[in-house]
Amino acid sequence: MSNEILNYDKVAEASLAKAQRDGAETMWDRRAAQKTQCGFGEAGVCCRICAMGPCRVSPVPGKGAERGICGANADTIVARNFARMVAGGTSAHSDHARDIVHAMHHSSAEGPFKIRDEAKLRRIAAEWEIADADTKETYALAHELSAMALEEFGKPFGTQRFLKRAPQARQDVWAREDIAPRAIDMEVTTLMHSTHMGCAADYESLFRRGMRTGMSDGWGGSMIGTEFSDIMYGTPTARASSSNLGVIDAEMVNILIHGHDPNLAEMVVLAAQNPEMVELAKAKGAKGINIVGMCCTGNEMTMRHGIKIAGNFYQQEMCIITGAIEAVVVDVQCIFPALPELAKTYHTRFISTSEKAKISGDLFLKFSEETGLDNANEIVKLAVENFPNRDAAKVEIPDIKQDTMVGYSVEEIINHLDAVVNSQLEDKLGTVKPLTDVIYAGVIRGAAGVVGCNNPKQQHDYAHITVMEELIKRDVICVVTGCAAQAAAKAGLLTLEAKERCGRGLLEVCERVNIPPVLHMGSCVDISRILHIVNLCADVRGIDPALLPVVGIAPEWMSEKAVSIANYVVGSGINTYLGVIPQVLGSPNFTKLLTEDCQEFIGAHFVFEKDPIVMVDKIMEDMEAKRTALGI
């Protein structure tokens, strides 16, 4: 077993040893079965977009075939493959957002979909220039706004509405370089067209079109996903939670919610609070119902309700291996197709709910906005009734959990800043200016957004934690989302006490503002919160965000969504550091375009660096150079 790859993860060894005893297969067995991974695929030079192929050109220029049958060279093939990853990622985030907007379209005073942050509804309606946004009846306004949001996916003309949140200097770059995204579906479709056999062959053009598609994710789908989820389910506020497999409770009915979209998870939490359901659980011998979260569903639910975090991407199998999960309930994205089979080794039921992500092997129970609460009731009941089937001999829950703080939306960060700076004044400043003040004063050197998945190409959580620990030591504040945030939670970095692990400047800021040095900002669509706050900071200084000492980092990424994210973060003027190297090295030209040349026209670039310590050294150099250029 690959323990050397997992020894950073405190629960992994026992968990995988148990899997072996139970005869359960895990990702590690399957990874071993893959043997050495394909060198052509790794370099991005395998093309199978038409049936004359598959064609593979040499990953090492000058050796072997240099062109596919149609004549596409390594540059074209690599650029097309990369662009298609962007299209995949953008569609995933954006389709998630569309479901949220649909739920808002079904919202009503009676529920179950309701408007919980009316102030935000009115704020965004005003931002989108709806007349009488402050006086219209709540649900009439919600329906009008959701109809407008749906237009963002398919409108024939114009660009994404949220782009106006960026300072003018950045909007000018987008206009000049033609990467201001139009309707989201249009960007994805046109990119699939461009990458069809016999279309775009110019690698730079493919890159630019890919970036514009990614931009429709960050400033379109993801931002809509975040903002509309806040309107319906509440804008997150700071709250306590707990993390790691130890949050699974041997005496309770445990339901693992896994996936991304809060619609399903919100309904499951609501259903589990129903006193009748709790009584039923007691009648079955349990003390109650314990909902635990995983991946971004876990992030959405912990940010708004303090739902405990069972773990990140890597731990999805380990949860089931505890033998104490009555049901795994999933919607979309990042769900191993292996789970239903693994669940059969235990008493666990595996329930998939989205037609977009039907996973065979156990139960499919279609969730829809019309019947959301009924669906959730059925799911929770099924889990409760499964409790007596648990095999006590197979239950083994690692006794490891870590307290954590979550819930730092942009609004909540501003509230915290206001509480300190303005404690004597009546009026709240309501801006991020105090944050830019401490960056400009050099008390903190810069800010980093650490995001993304786990990937067996990196030791589990090691790259995430090392990068964060090293950055806060060097007075760089971190904001985190996705599975990176859950890694931080498990490592105790999302606590007020973590300030002891910081440099002096950041320690002082954490004390005064009463925040952890690493702030949980949510799920992966919530990287739009990071975009938003960076742009607010640039705005108060009247500069292009590309000038700020701010970076994006994905130390252990794996998904297409991460490629889309990297594109919009770079497109937004923020240098992006990747700890797993994307499959592009088979084209030195395309690699150079990403890591150097795009700096010239976008004002930011990609950095590939597998070693987290070396990565942090590069980041500090990057930030100090930006500080020098700003004269701060």
According to DSSP, the residues that pair with 351 across neighbouring strands are 329, 363
Query: Which residue in the set 27, 43, 47, 565 belongs to the binding site for ligand SF4 (CB under 6 A)?
Result: 47
Residue 547, contacted partner among ligand XCC, ligand SF4, none, CB below 5-8 A by kind: none
Burial (0-12, 13-18, 19+ Cβ within 10 Å), 621 = exposed
- The binder of ligand SF4 chosen from 50, 250, 373, 443 (CB under 6 A): 50
Residue 262 engages ligand XCC in binding (rule: CB under 6 A): no
DSSP per-residue letters across 193-258:
HHTSTTS---HHHHHHHHHHHHHHIIIIIHHHHHHHHHHHH-----EEEEESGGGS-TTSEEEEEE
- Rounded least distance, CB 554 to ligand XCC, Å: 9
C-beta of 221 vs 586, nearer to ligand SF4: 586
* In the complex, minimum distance from the CB of residue 197 to ligand SF4, in angstroms, rounded to a whole number: 4
The one-letter amino acid at 97: A
**Letter for the amino acid at 28?**
W
Closer to ligand SF4 by Cβ: residue 14 or 197: 197
Q: How many angstroms separate the CA atoms of 495 and 491, rounded?
A: 10
Please report, for residues 217, 517, 520, 570, the alpha-carbon distance to residue 387 in angstroms, rounded to integers and kept in the order given.
41, 40, 33, 48
Check residue 611 and report its DSSP letter: -
Least spacing, CB of residue 55 vs ligand SF4, in Å: 3
Q: Which does 44 bind (CB under 5 to 8 A by kind): ligand XCC, ligand SF4, none?
A: none
Site map for ligand SF4, 60-99, x if CB under 6 A?
A: --------xxx-x----x----------------------
Phi then psi dihedrals of residue 27, to 5 deg: -60, -25
197 near ligand SF4, judged by CB under 6 A? yes
* Residue closer to ligand XCC (CB basis): 482 or 573: 482
Instruction: Identify which of residues 295 and 521 has a Cβ nearer to ligand XCC in the complex.
Output: 295
Is 303 one of the binding residues for ligand SF4 (CB under 6 A)?
Answer: no
Pattern 561-580, ligand XCC, x by CB under 6 A? x-------------------
> Residue 166 or residue 206: which is nearer to ligand SF4 going by CB?
206
Among 39, 41, 53, 588, contact with ligand SF4 (rule: CB under 6 A):
53
Q: Which of 295, 376, 570, 580 binds ligand XCC (CB under 6 A)?
A: 295
Options 559, 572, 583, 591; binder of ligand XCC; rule CB under 6 A: 559
Which of ligand XCC, ligand SF4, none does residue 313 bind (CB under 5 to 8 Å by kind)? ligand XCC
The token duo for 238 is 């700071």
Give least dist CB 76 to ligand SF4, A: 8
Residue 613: count other Cβ atoms within 10 Å of its Cβ. Answer: 12
Kindly list the distances between the CA atom of residue 620 and the CA atoms of 24, 445, 533, 600, in Å, as whole numbers in the listed order: 44, 8, 21, 21
Beta carbon nearer to ligand SF4, 47 or 343: 47
Choice from 112, 262, 449, 452 touching ligand XCC (CB under 6 A): 452
CA dist., res. 64 & res. 59, Å (int): 9
Return the number of the residue (71 or 111) whose C-beta is nearest ligand SF4: 71
Is residue 396 within 8 Å of residue 323, measured between CB atoms? yes
Instruction: Provide the minimum distance between the beta carbon of 73 and ligand SF4 in the complex, in angstroms, as a whole number.
Output: 9
| CA-angle at 18, arms to 17 and 22, nearest 5° | 120
Alpha-carbon span 250 to 390, nearest angstrom = 10
Neighbours of 106 (CB within 10 A): 16
Least separation, in Å, of the C-beta of 67 and ligand SF4? 8
| C-alpha–C-alpha distance, residues 401 and 301, integer Å | 18
**Closer residue to ligand XCC (CB): 343 or 562:** 562
Q: Residue 624 carries which side chain, given as an amino acid letter?
A: E
The Cα–Cα gap between 572 and 51 comes to 37
CA 153 – CA 95 distance, rounded (Å): 9
292: β partners: 256, 308
The partner in contact with residue 613, picked from ligand XCC, ligand SF4, none with C-beta cut-offs of 5 to 8 angstroms by kind, is none
69 or 419: whose CB is closer to ligand SF4? 69
Tell me which of ligand XCC, ligand SF4, none is bound by residue 373, counting a contact when its beta carbon lies within the kind-specific cut-off of 5 to 8 angstroms. Answer: none
- 512: tokens are 């005064």
Task: Please report how close the Cβ of residue 212 comes to ligand SF4 at its closest, in angstroms.
Answer: 22
Residue 524 interacts with which of ligand XCC, ligand SF4, none, CB < 5 to 8 Å by class: ligand XCC
Both tokens of 559, joined, read 């998904």
Q: Could you give the CA distance from residue 411 to residue 413 in angstroms, rounded to a whole number?
A: 6
Q: Which of residues 297-356 bind ligand XCC (CB under 6 A)?
A: 313, 334
DSSP sequence for 322-389:
TS--SEEEE-SSS--TTHHHHHHTSS-EEEE--GGG--TTSEE----TTTHHHHHHHHHHHHHHHGGG
- The interface partner of residue 69, options being ligand XCC, ligand SF4, none and the CB cut-off 5 to 8 Å by kind, is ligand SF4
Residue 453 contacts which entry, ligand SF4, ligand XCC, none (Cβ below 5-8 A, type-dependent)? ligand XCC
**Angle at which helices 462-473 and 482-490 pack, to 10 degrees?**
70
Q: How far is the CB of 379 from ligand XCC (least distance, A)?
A: 20
44 binds ligand SF4 (CB under 6 A): no
Which residues in 473-512 contact ligand XCC (CB under 6 A)?
Answer: 482-483
Q: Is 49 in the site for ligand SF4 (CB under 6 A)?
A: yes
User: Given the rule CB under 6 A, which residues bind ligand XCC?
Assistant: 260, 295-296, 313, 334, 452-453, 482-483, 523-524, 559, 561
User: Given the rule CB under 6 A, which residues bind ligand SF4?
Assistant: 47-50, 52-55, 68-70, 72, 77, 197
